[in-house]
Structure 1
Amino acid sequence: MKDPAAVMCHNIAKYNRERRDFETKVTYLSGPITGINNYQERFALAELDLICKGHKVFSPASMPSGLPHETYMPICYAMIDACNTICFLPGWRDSPGAKMEYEYAAAKGMTMMFLEGQEEKNNEPL
């Protein structure tokens, strides 16, 4: 990471992750965004469901749209670093960004959730 803001976000997330109560479910939502007309609604519904189940939720759908893909990924990784769980929305396998997030979360050994029967066995790679 060369961007100073991304480095700072990463360091803050790491600090928070090391000191938070791991009983709290802090969850990152991952799923397709590019080319999906109603992605904000899909993410919002999943976020609301998780919040109702006691999760604190980080969502990439809350970021401003229209920037290059490369601008988003360091921010997404920093958000993932602040979480102990990642939740994949339907269609995530068709999203290059979500697949990158899957690999990142798998390498960290994070708890993974898959909506609508897309469960993986033992966090097996794609």
Structure 2
Amino acid sequence: MKAKCYLSGPVSNQPTGKVRAQFMAAQILVKDAFQAVNPTENVKPDEDWGKAMIKCLNDLLDCQAILMLPGWQESPGARIERDFAERIGMRILTIEDVNPRLHDCECDETLVVVKGYEACVMCGRVREAELKKEVA
């Protein structure tokens, strides 16, 4: 059985599509090494922040590692999750730790697209999706 890895990144006050794209890309990135625990699947978008954090920390307790997604430093919730993980001696990972080919990423062929946002499954970067023109 694979070790569980909790995905931690900015969620609050972010567009739903952006959050879903980033977390889906992270799930794909870690799937060979870990069973991903995606907090966006267990917390409702309109859930009270404090209650959501309690759920997230409970989910985190069941994991062996935490993956810090790009932008985590600006997220109060992700900073709490990282601090908690560090205090209990959990393995803390970054995108660089789980993808040795990160320097090869060009963010053009490895994208997850959700509600107007695309996230790279190699480096975790998220951007607004480019509108594709239909070819007549």
Global fold match (TM > 0.5): yes
Return the match for 2:76 from 96, 99, 108: 96
CA distance in 2, matches of 1:55, 1:97: 22
Rounded Cα–Cα distance in structure 2 between residues aligned with 1:88 and 1:25: 16
Q: CA deviation at 1:116?
A: 4.8
1:45 aligns with 2:33: no
Aligned CA RMSD, in angstroms, stands at 1.5
Equivalent residue, structure 2, for 1:56: 35
5+ long unaligned stretches in structure 1: 1-20, 118-126
Residue 71 of structure 1 aligns to a residue whose secondary structure is: helix
Q: What is the CA–CA distance in structure 2 between the aligned matches of 1:66 and 1:32, rounded to whole Å?
A: 15
- Does 1:79 find its partner at 2:55? no
Number of positions where the alignment pairs a residue of Structure 1 with one of Structure 2: 94
Aligned to 1:29: 7
Secondary structure in 2 aligned to 1:112? strand
User: 1:54-107, CA deviations, whole angstroms, 9 ceiling, x for partnerless residues?
Assistant: 311111111221011101111111111100000000000000000000110000
**Same amino acid, percent of matched pairs:** 27
Structure (1/2) with the larger helix percentage: 1
User: Residue deviations 1:7-30, cap 9 Å, x none?
Assistant: xxxxxxxxxxxxxx6xx3210000
| Residue 110 (str. 1) matches residue 90 (str. 2) | yes
CA distance in 2, matches of 1:111, 1:34: 24
**Secondary structure, in 3 states, of the residue corresponding to 1:26?**
strand
TM-score normalised per structure 1 = 0.70
Other structure's SS at 1:113 match: strand
SS in 2 for 1:86: strand
Matches within 5 A, 1:11-22: none
- The 3-state SS of whatever aligns with 2:4 is strand
Structure 2: any 5+ residue segments left out of the alignment? 98-136
**What is the identity, as a one-letter code, of the residue corresponding to 2:25?**
L
